[in-house]
């Protein structure tokens, strides 16, 4: 597998490069705005300048580059794995439109464990349709977006089982809890990689489903599996659901 890595100089970019190399792949081009003039021939500050052909693009940069990356993917016919989060509604629409012309993999979290958690949440909420549901996500103090993309994935899992559900982010004020609301609470503290917890409770019992990430390399492994899955795929928008089915 030949890959273009966007965000190559970031922490996750380094993990992805190591993962690709360790599993027999090749990083044919590296893209990062931090590259200086003395960069190597296959290092670029913009993906538009990449000359090498690849089987897949793996993006761990910043959601603001979504348009550039998808434009390059469409132009070259290269499948792309978008591993960044925090996309605006406009950027999500860009991804959707691009997926009509090229294969795009997009998810709020690259962890296979989180994908499994989403499935479990949907199942439990289906069994307890009248239960209260709360989502609590905790990350390091440098994370910019809140709620996290993963928390949004978990809410979407709840909504699949309970279509009338709506998100109540950062509950405050004086008002009674509505039966259809799903509380989403964001905590930013220290150097925590990521903790996501879903509490599903009735008046008689509570089920707590929880995932803790200890090492960021797990996201690189998920991105690698996603990239391998995407090689040769036709146009379409792919998620962890399709990967797990495969």
Q: What positions carry a catalytic annotation? A: 139, 143
| Cα–Cα nearest to 78, from 93, 107, 98, 63 | 98
3-class SS at 158?
helix
Under a CB-based contact definition with an 8 Å cutoff, are residues 70 and 95 in contact?
yes
Q: Report the alpha-carbon angle 29-244-14, nearest 5.
A: 30
Going from the C-alpha of 122 to that of each of 138, 163, 172, 206, 216, the distances in angstroms are 21, 11, 26, 15, 26
Under a CB-based contact definition with an 8 Å cutoff, are residues 109 and 193 in contact?
no
């Amino acid at each position: 597998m030949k890959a273009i890595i966007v965000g190559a100089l970031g922490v996750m970019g380094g993990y992805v490069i190591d993962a690709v190399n360790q599993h027999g792949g090749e990083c044919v081009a590296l893209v990062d705005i931090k590259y200086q003039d003395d960069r190597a021939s296959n290092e670029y500050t913009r993906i538009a300048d990449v000359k090498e052909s690849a089987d897949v693009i793996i993006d761990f940069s910043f959601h603001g580059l979504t348009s550039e990356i998808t434009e390059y993917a469409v132009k070259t016919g290269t499948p792309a794995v978008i591993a960044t989060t925090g996309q605006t509604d406009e950027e999500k629409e860009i991804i959707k439109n691009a997926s009509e012309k090229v294969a795009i993999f997009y998810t709020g979290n690259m962890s296979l464990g989180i994908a499994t958690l989403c499935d479990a949440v949907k199942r439990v909420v289906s069994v307890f349709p009248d239960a209260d549901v709360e989502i609590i996500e905790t990350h390091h103090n440098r994370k910019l977006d809140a709620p996290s993309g993963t928390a949004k994935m978990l809410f979407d899992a709840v909504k699949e089982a309970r279509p009338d559900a709506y998100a109540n982010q950062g509950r405050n004020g004086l008002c009674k809890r509505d039966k259809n609301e799903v509380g989403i609470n964001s905590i930013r503290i220290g150097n925590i990689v990521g903790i996501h917890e879903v509490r599903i409770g009735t008046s008689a019992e509570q089920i707590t489903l929880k995932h803790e990430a200890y090492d960021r390399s797990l996201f690189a492994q998920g991105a690698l599996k996603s990239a391998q899955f995407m090689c040769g795929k036709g146009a379409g928008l792919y998620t962890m659901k399709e990967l797990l089915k495969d």
